[in-house]
Amino acid sequence: MRASRLPFRLRGLHLAALDCAVAVVLTIAYLGFAGGGPADGQPAFGGPVWVGWLVAAGVGAPIAVRRRWPVPVMGVVLAASVAATLLDITREPYIATALAAYLVALTEPLRRSGTAGAVALAVSAGAVIAGGAVVTPAGTVAEAVGTAALVWVVIGAAWGAGFAVRAARLRAARAERSRAERALVEERLRIARELHDIVSHSLSVIVVKAGVGEHVADTHPQEARDALRVIERTGREALTEMRRALGVLRADPGGGTVGSGDRGGGSGDRDPVGARTDDGFEAGDGGLRPAPGLDDLPALARRAEQAGIRVDLRVRVPGLLAAGTAMTVYRIVQEALTNVVRHAGAGTRCRVAVDTDSDGRVRIEVVDDGAGASAVPSAAAPGGGHGLVGMRERATMYGGSLEAGPRPQGGFAVTAVLPQRSDPASTPTSREEATA
């Protein structure tokens, strides 16, 4: 943290040093104005030397601390500048007051900075006109008004510049807060999708196999034991994925374990199911492991078959996919198979096809015939109601689309289309697969 703040501290010291230098220059300039003769044809200061020094210090020295106390500094500088004008010391258009006005407009709320600016304009104009046309007339009233207008332009421009910079910074801060809020909402949705995928798929298999085991426990004990083994294996896999997901949520965002990047699916896409690196890997309990992709679809199909679904898997995607896109394909297929297990039941025949269309987009189809006997009623299905929403959000997040609904001839169909994005920084996660 100290290393990240160091540039800001150096920048603050640099600005403070610059203010000190300007304060010294202004003070020396006013000492010269107070000690100089009437060489320029203007009335000269004829008072005690110490008064000239005091006025010079009042005009220049406060500028050194204008960033710490902007309003008091502006008050002191304005008072000293007015005194210098009435004493015929001033030979410049209130530059010190303008520098103070800039900081007031930059750091103070509009009502306070506006009041301070209006007072500075009124007092400076009154002092210039009074000094040039009344106290020690050196010209006409019109000339004094012209000088006052010049002072107004200098002070007003400085105040306006400070206000513009402040407004720009406030807009940037609001935009940053808005981006942070959107990122938080998107992250919560992403976490919800991942937890839904992990829990819903595994619990659906467990519930189906538990129902099978209970049904055949007395008549076919071997099948019951096989169902228990599937339940145990699926439960262990779910626990492993849950531990990995929770480990990422507990990780220190500054520790470098959680990847961040374009959510469009290129390198560095972060996913709550595991800490993604720029090479398309997830951080697991034992180190880095590849993020799920097309190569993991056969194992996914086998897990669905253990729940009694007959899966015909065909993956034909030539070339390479970005890791984020490949993982999206995996998650959509996973959720679609979960819905088949949950709602269609054992004995259902399901066709899963992942290929590319004529435009080079990745097309995903998961179609079942609905001929099975559902072992899990829809009302009791874990996580019901969020699966289709999560799939559609995933497809949209990567610039694609998804359609889902019942088929006229029976069963259910899920069709998704994703743009195929090749990313040289992403891990190759796609290769041509035959049936699983």
Per residue in 138-168, pLDDT (tens digit) is: 777 888 888 889 999 999 999 999 999 999 9
Q: What is the rounded CA–CA span in Å between residue 60 and residue 71?
A: 15
Distance between first and last Cα of the chain: 50
Q: Which residues contact 436 (CB under 8 A, 6 or more apart)?
A: 297, 298, 301, 302, 311, 313
What is the domain partition of the chain in residue ranges? 2-174, 292-436
Q: What is the rounded CA–CA span in Å between residue 409 and residue 403?
A: 17
Is the whole-model pTM more than 0.75?
A: no
The pLDDT score that the predictor gives to residue 151 is 92
Q: What is the rounded CA–CA span in Å between residue 130 and residue 117?
A: 20
CATH number of this structure's domain 292-436: 3.30.565.10
Of the listed ranges 234-243, 255-264, 310-319, the one predicted with least confidence: 255-264
- What does the block give as tokens for 335? 């959720």
Q: What is the rounded CA–CA span in Å between residue 232 and residue 157?
A: 75
Tell which wins on pLDDT, 264 or 131.
131
Q: Which residues contact 113 (CB under 8 A, 6 or more apart)?
A: 104, 105, 107, 159, 162, 163
Sign of CA dihedral 288, 292, 295, 296: positive
Q: What is the rounded CA–CA span in Å between residue 141 and residue 133?
A: 5
Cα–Cα distances (Å) from 73 to 67, 103, 120, 396, 427, in that order, read 9, 10, 12, 56, 59
